[in-house]
Amino acid sequence: MDQAPSVPSSTPNSPFEPEKKRRHRWIWAIVLLLFGLLFYWVYRQHSVSQQHQAGGGHGHGRFAMAGPVPITTATAKLGNLAVYLNALGTVTPVYTDTMTAEVTGYITQVHYREGQYVKKGDPLIDIDPRTYEAQVVEAQGALERDQGVLAEAQMDLKRYQDAWAKNAIPRQTLEDQEKVVLQDQGTVKNDEGTLQYDQVQVAYCHITSPIDGRVGLRLVDPGNLVTANSTNGLVVVAQVQPITVIFILSEDDLPEVLEQMHGGKTLTVQAYDRTQQTLLDTGKLLAINNQIDTTTGTVTLRAQFPNAKGMLFPNQFVNTRLLVNTLKNQLLVPSSAVQHNGETAFVYLIQNNKAVMRTVNPGITEGDSTVVAGINPGDVVANSSFEKLEDGSQVFESKVKLPATNSEGNGIAAP
C-alpha cells in the first residue's frame, strides 16, 4: 500500500510570507516617523530657548525680539485737565404750546407751513368770524341805545336838581331820579362787558403764535369744523432757540456741582450725539431740581443751549458733559501709554534707546490724557508696541505711526 508523502514544516513558497513582510515594513515606517517628529520638537524647543535668552528673559518673553523694537513715543507734559461729569439727557423746549379752538366754526385759512419758524403774533389759523362779528354789532347797538337812555336820565336829574334848589319839587322826586341814573349806568356797564366779550370771541377766530418757535405738522385743514373747548389741538408751537436739555446725575456728584455754583461760577455743558463723536452745541447749567429722587439716588438738572444751528431737536436723546472743574499744572501722558500689570500701573521710559519700566500712580483720566505721578515733565515714554517691549529692550523710534496696545496686547487707538 503506497504511503502519502510527508508535508514539510515550512514551505519556501508559503502564501503568508509577503503579508508578514509588508506588516514589518509599516511598523518600521511608523517608528521612523515618530522619531523624526521627536527630533523636530527638540530642535524647535532649543531654538525658542535661544531666542528668549537673546531677548533678556524678562517681561513679555514670549514676544521678545532679538533686535531693537520699533515704537512711537510721547512726552510727559504739564498742562490743565478739564474734569467732566457725563450723563444721558433729553432735549426739552423751554415752551411748548398746543392751541385749541375757543370758538365753534369752520376753518377758513391755514397760514403756516409745516416746520416753519414763526415769530410771536404771526397768524396761524383763521376760523369763520361772521357769526361773532354780528354779535359784536348787536352788542354795540345795545350799548349805544342804553348810553342814550342814561344821557336822558342824567339830563332829567339835572332839571330835578335845579327845581329842588328852588323848592319846586318834592325831595322824593329828586331821589327817585338819582336811582334811575344809577340803574342806567349799570345797564351801560353791562352792555360794555357784553361788547368786550363778543370782541374777544372775534379775536379767538384769528389764532396767532404766542411765542417764537417752530410749528409742527399740520393738524387741520381749511373747511374743517372745530368746536369750542375741544381737546384736539389745532397747531403746536415749540420754542427751540434757546432750548434746554434735562439730564440726571448721581447724588454723589451733587456736592461738587453745588460747590462750583455757590462760588458764583457758570458751569459749561456740552451736548454730543449718541456716538459721542459730534458736538451738537455748548450751553450752560441753568438749574438744579430742589430734591433728590430717593428711589434712584439721582438729581435732575437743566441746561440751556442757544441752538443757533438747530442741531438740538425736541425729545432728542443726547450725551451731556458737565464741566465741574479744571485741574491746573498736572503732569499728563497719553492714556494709552499707561500699562497695567494686575493692580500695578507702569510706563516704559525711553532712555538711551532703551525701554525702562517705571511704576507710576495714575490719577484722573479724561479723554486721551491721564494724570500721573512717578515721572518728570519732559520724560519720553513708549506709546506703542507694548506686546514686544520688556524692561531693558533696545528700541528705536519708528517714522510710521504704530497702534498702541495695552499690557495684555489688546489694541488701543494711539492719541
| Cα dist from 402 to 67, 71, 121, 354, 411, whole Å | 17, 7, 61, 18, 10
Q: How long a stretch of residues is the chain?
A: 415
Please give the pLDDT value at position 18. Answer: 58
CATH class for the domain made up of 85-94+238-326: mainly beta
Q: What dotted CATH number matches 61-80+328-412?
A: 2.40.420.20
Report the alpha-carbon distance of residue 248 to residue 303 in Å, rounded: 11
Question: Which neighbouring-strand residues pair with 348?
Answer: 357
| Cα dist from 180 to 96, 145, 163, 170, 407, whole Å | 52, 16, 17, 16, 103
113 touches 196 (CB < 8 A): no
Question: Residue 131 class from Cβ within 10 Å (0-12 exposed, 13-18 middle, 19+ buried)?
Answer: middle
Q: Which residues contact 88 (CB under 8 A, 6 or more apart)?
A: 247, 248, 317, 318, 319, 320
Please give the pLDDT value at position 23. Answer: 64
Pair type for strands 369-373 and 354-366:
antiparallel
Q: What is the DSSP string of 310-362?
A: ----TT-EEEEEEEEEEEEEEEEEEGGG-EEETTEEEEEEEETTEEEEEEEEE
- CATH among 2.40.50.100, 3.30.1490.110, 3.20.20.70, 3.30.70.20 for 100-234: 2.40.50.100
Residue type, 93: P
Report the alpha-carbon distance of residue 307 to residue 291 in Å, rounded: 28
Report the alpha-carbon distance of residue 152 to residue 219 in Å, rounded: 54
Please give the pLDDT value at position 306. Answer: 95
Please give the pLDDT value at position 1. Answer: 43
Residue type, 334: P
Tell me the whole-structure pTM to 2 decimals: 0.63
Report the alpha-carbon distance of residue 208 to residue 415 in Å, rounded: 54
Return the ∠ at Cα 30 (arms to 24 and 36), rounded to 5°: 135
Pair type for strands 69-71 and 395-397:
parallel
Report the alpha-carbon distance of residue 351 to residue 392 in Å, rounded: 10
Pull the grid cell for residue 361. 500712580
Residue type, 127: I
Averages of pLDDT over runs of 10 residues in the chain (415 residues) are 46 52 71 77 63 44 61 86 90 93 95 94 95 96 95 94 90 92 95 96 95 93 92 92 95 90 88 92 94 93 94 94 87 88 87 87 83 88 84 80 49 34
Helix/strand/coil for 269: strand
Domain boundaries, the chain: 61-80+328-412, 85-94+238-326, 100-234
Q: Which of 86, 403, 46, 414 is nearest to 249 (CA)?
A: 86
**Cα torsion angle, 32, 36, 42, 45, sign:** negative
